A and B are shown apart, each in its own frame.
Chain A
Amino acid sequence: MDPFLLEALVNGILLGGVFALPVLGCNLVFGVVDVVWLCYAELVMVGMYAVWFLHTQQAWPLYLAFAAALPLVGLLGVLLHLIVVKPLLGAPPINQLLATGGVLFVLQGGAMLVFGTDFRSLGVELPPMEWHDVFVSGTKLAAFCAALAGAAALWAFLKFTYIGIAIRAIARDREVMPLMGVDPRRVYVVASAVGGALAGLAACLLVVQLDVHPFIGLSFGPITFMICVMGGLGNMLGGFLAAFLMGLIVSTGSFWWNTEMSYVIAFAFFIAVIFGRPRGLFAR
């Protein structure tokens, strides 16, 4: 096989792994709280700045900066829920969208005020790996492994803990939960914290690959939501698979044509999907 095509395929899978985390986070929050966090990519952006700031400005070791980003963005998720989402829980969905969309601009503007519009780079890079003429970025590979580990940890949390099982239950039947002694409002807070922490983990994986700037969210936010919808909003497994599909479309698209066209193809594919399967590719 053409080593460049093989490289594109490998990169597509690696990219899918990075897409997967914000998709899982968004789907988790939507599935439980029934609200779309339009500012999800901006939570990731805040996490990226946090890692950059702690590592380059405060001279924290990188692993400590990473370790701090998860609870920090998790806390941000909780605050977002308590301050913005909770008062609007009974409101029409459009109000909730407008409110979390407003937070998007607040976070963008805030980042601009605090950090300016400069592109900030972490300046870390792992050496590339070579295998039969196929070069793979070591950084991307490490990020991919961390993304898979994060997804596996989320799976174990949802599968084996009482609160995790309650999260999966509440996504299906909210009203019956109090009969089991479950306070839905508490589950919402937990889901928001986990959704935020996933954005924090995504931030760690992206900040080693991309320079951070206040508008970085725009470069992966739209595609995140697209993948969520394509996999079926709230469907964790569907979103996870769709993330890899999208990663492959984007990277092979740039192999056949170029990077710009690859996103055009990705969006065209998305439009075709929502016409053909409006409830998502993996809807049962």
Chain B
Amino acid sequence: MEEPALVLEGIRAGYGDFQALFDVGLRVTPGEAVGVVGPNGAGKTTLLRVISGMIRPTRGTARFGEVDIAATPAHELPASGIAHVPENRRLFPHLTVEENLKVGAFIPSARKRFAERSEYVFNLFPKMAQRRHQLAGTMSGGEQQMCAIGRALMSSPRILLLDEPSAGLAPIVVAQVFELVKRIRDEGLTVLIVEQNVAQVLRVVDRAYVLDAGRVVAEGASADLAADPAIRNSYLGGH
């Protein structure tokens, strides 16, 4: 089967009267790793929430291959290959690592492949194998982030959405998380990653969009963006 592309056009979305996204367009082709960067409150999380169906756009189209995202209930999107690691991980702290993975494997196609997928995840994160019977809430922040990514990978997604995987983690752990993201994308999985940690994320993605106040203000190959003086000044702390 041909891998689907994610295409967003003219997306407007928000919460009640508050509009967070203004005519945002975005495209992720299969096998690509794409970043969405920008300051706090730029609408990055909202963008991911639109893609995973958690909020409905008020205008615009969002498609993943043949699937019309805006017309599909959120709980049906994982079966079409979208997996979303939400902001703040949202693990189930009172469940064990393995039980968290089981929730990630809830959809019928994933249940059948549970053994195979959990082996893949444990191979990717050997620490999770050691801690499979530990309560997720008792692990360190970095381990919880790995568990959250593992939970999303259990459904054999065709695109992985990552919302601020580095948030709240120590710098050395952030480096480990990005190393893992790199490994996942090197295995051919399509990745869309939202980050405030612009410098780090530009090293692992092919392309990136810069989102500011709900609008795409720049886009391009990550090397070009990292070299752009305007981007460096505004979003990279001017180094």
In the complex, are the beta carbons of A179 and B106 less than 8 A apart? no
B75 within 8 A of A: yes
Selected contact of B155 from candidates A162, A168, A181, A183, CB within 8 Å: A181
Q: Are A178 and B92 within 8 A (Cβ)? A: no
Interface contact A182-B53, CB-CB below 8 Å? no
Q: Judge whether A182 and B103 touch: CB under 8 Å.
A: yes
Instruction: Check A165–B75 contact: CB distance below 8 A.
Output: no
CB of A165 to closest CB in B, whole Å: 5
Task: Give min CB distance, B95 to chain A, whole Å.
Answer: 6
CB of B107 closer than 8 Å to a CB of A: yes
Please tell me if the beta carbons of A178 and B73 are within 8 angstroms of each other in the complex. yes
Instruction: Say yes or no: A173-B75 contact (C-beta < 8 A), given A162-B106, A165-B99, A182-B106.
Output: no
Number of interface residues of A (CB under 8 A): 17
A172 contacts across to B, CB distance below 8 A: 92-94
By a CB distance below 8 angstroms, the chain B residues around A179 are: 52, 54, 74, 78, 83-84, 86, 90, 152
**Contact A169 B75, CB 8 Å, known A178-B53, A179-B86, A181-B155:** no
Instruction: Using CB atoms, name the residue of chain B closest to A184.
Output: B75
Which of A172, A180, A182 has most B Cβ within 10 Å? A180
B152 surroundings in chain A (CB, below 8 A)? 179
Assembly CA distance A196 to B5 (angstroms): 45
B76 at the interface (CB under 8 A from A): yes
Per-residue CB contact flags for chain B residues 75-110 toward chain A (1 = under 8 Å, else 0) read 111110001101000101111000100111111001
Q: Is the interface of A mostly helix, strand, loop or mixed?
A: helix
A166 within 8 A of B: yes
The count of chain B contact residues (Cβ–Cβ below 8 Å) is 30
Residue B63 interfacial (CB < 8 Å): no
Cα A21 to Cα B105 with chains together (Å): 30
Measured between beta carbons, the chain B residues less than 8 angstroms from A173 are 90, 92
Q: Is the CB of B86 within 8 A of A183?
A: no
- A176 sits at the interface (CB 8 A): yes
A183 to B99, CA, bound (A): 18
Question: B232 interface residue, CB < 8 Å from A?
Answer: no
CB–CB B90/A181 < 8 A: no
Known contacts A176-B86, A178-B75, A168 near B94 by CB under 8 Å: yes
Residues of A within 8 A of B77 (CB): 178, 181
CA of A264 to CA of B57 in the docked complex: distance in angstroms? 58
Contact between A181 and B54, CB atoms less than 8 A apart: no
**A177 lies within 8 A of chain B by Cβ:** yes
Contacts of A182 in B (CB 8 A): 75, 103, 106
Query: Residues of A contacting B95 with CB < 8 Å?
Result: 165, 168-169
Q: Which chain B residue has the least Cβ–Cβ distance from A176? A: B90
Considering only residues 158-198 of chain A, those with a C-beta below 8 Å from chain B are: 162, 165-166, 168-169, 172-173, 175-184
Q: For chain A residues 9-65, which have a beta carbon within 8 Å of chain B? A: none
Distance of A178 Cα from B54 Cα, bound (Å): 8
Which of the residues A175, A180, A183 comes within 8 Å of B104, measured between beta carbons? Answer: A180
| 18 extra interface residue pairs, beta carbon distance < 8 Å, beyond A169-B99, A181-B110 | A162-B106, A162-B111, A165-B103, A168-B92, A168-B99, A169-B95, A169-B103, A172-B94, A177-B75, A178-B52, A178-B73, A178-B74, A179-B83, A180-B106, A180-B107, A180-B151, A181-B106, A184-B75
Top 3 A-B residue pairs of the complex, sorted by shortest distance between their CB atoms = A181-B78, A178-B74, A181-B107
Contacts A/B (CB < 8 Å), 17 sampled: A166-B106, A168-B94, A169-B92, A176-B86, A178-B54, A178-B73, A179-B78, A179-B90, A180-B78, A180-B151, A180-B155, A181-B77, A181-B79, A181-B107, A181-B110, A182-B75, A184-B75
